[in-house]
Amino acid sequence: MKKDFNLDSIDRTHDITPEEVRKFERFKNYTDEQVNELIDTIKKYTRFVYNVVSKRKKSGRKIALHIDNQQTKAA
């Protein structure tokens, strides 16, 4: 029996679908291309964050969770 997971579940085993993206008011009028680009961006970003966290854990280095004003202004 396949368990149905909601968007907020950490147990999710599949990518977010275009239909799920469009359930959010902000994205309801996105074209298929825009939705697919958004999903691709989310996947790339989460992969990047996962890799950074994994490497930091292996090295034993702490991860700073704050951003100082200089970094914020530079971004």
Q: d(Cα 63, Cα 32) in Å, to the nearest integer?
A: 36
Q: How many domains does the chain have?
A: 1
Evaluate if residue 34 carries a pLDDT over 80.
Answer: yes
Evaluate if residue 69 carries a pLDDT over 80.
Answer: no
- Does residue 63 or residue 5 have the better pLDDT? 63
Whether 42 maps to a domain, the answer reads yes
Whether 71 maps to a domain, the answer reads no
Q: d(Cα 20, Cα 35) in Å, to the nearest integer?
A: 10
Range of the domain at 47: 18-60
Q: What is the pLDDT of residues 47-68, one digit of tens each?
A: 899 888 888 777 776 666 666 6
Whether 10 maps to a domain, the answer reads no
